[in-house]
């Protein structure tokens, strides 16, 4: 009998926004300029004050902190949430190793192995990996591009709830769609959670980045949500500090907090230097977000305008975050994404994108869709979109007819 990795190890998926990375590296080795629109790594500079805080820190021993994070950082986080209109205490904030650990702790705390987690699809692809690690089954309800990926009807959620269902998870503003959930949508989800005694897990990593005057609504501000809501947060996108790896799990449910804290004790403490970065970050003035929001909105406007002008492309206007989901006139978006890196070039340039099938769980969905991250400066972003425009005209598998996706095919046969 030979050695084998665990079942969960075998099921762990490839990252949907990194799966084409080997082709991108090979293209670069051939001397090609590759514009990365595949991953949410902004090119906006991390605030210098964050680095200064670490340089100036008088540290003789980089010791363990409290398992929930330092008192100093938790107090500053409580003040940050207060400025955002969210009232929480330090005893309701658990500092985590990035938002990733907050997501994992929430699943481990709120669901047992074999329990079901309902998520609107398309969703942040890495949720699948966290669910596998926690032994949780994801059940989806499908949002559509035709209405900008708004929340599916509440009846669709009710239809998939079983005795094994324990929580609903959403990202607001959404990665990958950019949809900003409305008060009505969130109140409807909470009502379902109250009726069926489910947790509402809300990933709010992009809270500050809403456009056209919109503002995101935190699930922590939903009336009657005290026992149901767990917010998952991070400084990664907010401050263009993805490498800091500092996040938080925030909840007023004392039992959930205590159980999550026990999981946190397993890894002893969150990153010490990362929390110093975080303290400096939350001290930044509101003007920091105003400037970045204006820059991201300009990038969004350029991306949407260019995409909507390309024949056969369908692209709703995202209300927040820094992603757009688009339907392309191609036979298969993953095949197209690979072709961009292996066979295509425009003035020795090309781009890397994320095929959207990795953001759906239902087989066949997203086959003609891609997620583009508008995280490059306007000059590079325009060059990348010019490459895409030329590529769509040159691609051998170009088609202006929609490909029948698996779920539609099944419905037709039925």
Residues 284 and 404: their CA atoms lie apart, in Å, by 49
Say if residue 124 is in the same domain as residue 22.
Answer: no
Which residue, among 287, 171, 326, has the nearest Cα to 237 in the 3D structure? Answer: 171
User: Is residue 105 over pLDDT 70?
Assistant: yes
Cis peptide before 156 (omega within 30 of 0): no
* Beta-ladder partners of 314: 327
**Alpha helices per DSSP H over 32-125:** 48-56, 71-83, 98-110
User: Is residue 409 over pLDDT 60?
Assistant: no
**Residues 6 or more apart whose Cβ sits within 8 Å of residue 285:** none
**Alpha helices per DSSP H over 139-250:** 154-160, 183-196
**Residue 147 buriedness (CB in 10 A; 0-12 / 13-18 / 19+):** exposed
Let me know if residue 1 belongs to a domain.
no
pLDDT average, residue stretch 141-145: 98
Let me know if residue 346 belongs to a domain.
yes
> What is the per-residue pLDDT across 59-104, written as a single tens digit (0 to 9) for each?
999 999 999 999 999 999 999 999 999 999 999 999 999 999 999 9
Let me know if residue 342 belongs to a domain.
yes
Q: At 26, is the secondary structure helix, strand, or coil?
A: helix
Say if residue 20 is in the same domain as residue 102.
Answer: no
Of the three residues 253, 282, 311, the one that is the final residue of a domain is 282
pLDDT average, residue stretch 172-198: 98
Q: At 116, is the secondary structure helix, strand, or coil?
A: strand
User: Is residue 262 over pLDDT 60?
Assistant: yes
Let me know if residue 2 belongs to a domain.
no
Contact 77, 281 (CB under 8 A): no
Let me know if residue 401 belongs to a domain.
yes
According to DSSP, residue 366 is labeled: T
pLDDT average, residue stretch 226-254: 97
Portion of the chain with pLDDT greater than 90, in percent: 93
> Phi and psi (nearest 5°) for 98?
70, 170
Cis peptide before 330 (omega within 30 of 0): no
Q: What is the pLDDT of residue 16?
A: 74
Residues 414 and 410: their CA atoms lie apart, in Å, by 6
Number of domains in the chain: 2
For position 11, which CATH number holds? 3.90.1150.10
Mean pLDDT for the chain overall: 95
Longest dimension (CA), the chain: 69
Q: What is the pLDDT of residue 13?
A: 85
Residues 26 and 61: their CA atoms lie apart, in Å, by 43
- Report the run of H or E that residue 248 belongs to, with start and end: strand 247-251
Say if residue 22 is in the same domain as residue 109.
Answer: no
Q: What is the pLDDT of residue 403?
A: 57
User: Is residue 8 over pLDDT 50?
Assistant: yes
> What is the per-residue pLDDT across 360-374, written as a single tens digit (0 to 9) for each?
999 999 999 999 999
Q: What is the pLDDT of residue 15?
A: 78
Query: 95 vs 19, 65, 72, 130, 354, CA distance in Å?
Result: 30, 11, 11, 18, 30
Let me know if residue 199 belongs to a domain.
yes
Q: What is the pLDDT of residue 405?
A: 55
Q: What is the pLDDT of residue 404?
A: 52
Say if residue 276 is in the same domain as residue 319.
Answer: no
Of the three residues 282, 307, 338, the one that is the final residue of a domain is 282
Say if residue 230 is in the same domain as residue 324.
Answer: no
Say if residue 78 is in the same domain as residue 156.
Answer: yes
Quick one: CA torsion of 22, 375, 49, 281, rounded to 10 degrees? -100
Contact 341, 24 (CB under 8 A): yes
pTM: 0.94
Portion of the chain with pLDDT greater than 70, in percent: 96
Q: What is the pLDDT of residue 1?
A: 79
Say if residue 156 is in the same domain as residue 277.
Answer: yes
Say if residue 297 is in the same domain as residue 221.
Answer: no
User: Is residue 413 over pLDDT 70?
Assistant: no
In the sheet with 354-355, reading across from the earlier edge strand, the strands are 323-327, 369-373, 354-355
Say if residue 101 is in the same domain as residue 14.
Answer: no
Of the three residues 241, 263, 282, the one that is the final residue of a domain is 282
Question: Domain range for residue 95?
Answer: 48-282
Residues 280 and 246: their CA atoms lie apart, in Å, by 12
For position 84, which CATH number holds? 3.40.640.10
Contact 337, 324 (CB under 8 A): no
């Amino acid at each position: 009998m030979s050695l084998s990795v665990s079942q969960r190890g075998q099921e762990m998926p490839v990252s949907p926004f990194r799966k084409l990375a080997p082709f991108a590296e090979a293209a670069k080795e051939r001397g090609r300029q590759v514009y990365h629109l595949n991953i949410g790594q902004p090119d906006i500079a991390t605030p210098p004050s964050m680095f200064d805080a670490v340089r100036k820190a008088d540290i003789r021993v980089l010791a363990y902190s409290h398992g929930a994070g330092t008192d100093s950082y938790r107090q500053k986080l409580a003040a940050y949430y207060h400025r955002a209109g969210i009232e929480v205490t330090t005893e309701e904030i658990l500092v985590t190793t990035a938002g990733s650990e907050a997501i994992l702790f929430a699943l481990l705390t709120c669901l047992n192995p074999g329990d079901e987690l309902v998520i609107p699809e398309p969703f942040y692809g890495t949720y699948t990996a966290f669910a596998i690690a926690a032994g949780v089954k994801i059940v989806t309800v499908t949002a559509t591009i035709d209405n900008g990926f708004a929340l599916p009807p509440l009846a669709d959620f009710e239809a998939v709830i079983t005795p094994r269902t324990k929580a609903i998870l959403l990202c607001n503003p959404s990665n990958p769609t950019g949809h900003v959930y409305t008060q009505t949508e969130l109140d409807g989800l909470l009502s379902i959670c109250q009726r069926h005694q489910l947790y509402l897990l809300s990933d709010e990593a992009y809270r500050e980045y809403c456009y056209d005057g919109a503002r995101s609504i935190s699930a922590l501000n939903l009336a009657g949500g005290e026992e149901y809501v767990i917010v998952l947060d991070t400084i990664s996108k907010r401050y263009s500090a993805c490498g800091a790896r500092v996040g938080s799990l925030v909840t007023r449910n004392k039992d959930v907090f205590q159980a999550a804290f026990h999981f946190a004790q397993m890894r002893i403490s969150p990153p010490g230097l990362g929390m110093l970065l975080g303290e400096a970050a939350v001290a930044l003035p509101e003007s920091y977000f105003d400037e970045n929001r204006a820059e991201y909105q300009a990038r969004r406007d350029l991306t949407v305008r260019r995409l909507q002008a390309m024949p056969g492309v369908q692209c709703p206007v995202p209300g927040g975050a820094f992603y757009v989901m688009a339907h392309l006139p191609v036979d298969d978006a993953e095949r197209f994404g690979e072709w961009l890196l292996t066979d295509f070039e425009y003035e020795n340039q090309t781009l890397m994108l994320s095929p959207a099938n990795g953001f759906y769980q239902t087989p066949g969905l997203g086959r003609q869709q891609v997620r583009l991250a508008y995280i490059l400066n306007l000059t590079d972003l325009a060059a990348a979109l010019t490459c895409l425009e030329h590529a769509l005209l040159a691609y051998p598998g170009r088609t202006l007819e929609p490909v029948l996706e698996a779920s539609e095919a099944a419905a037709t046969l039925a």
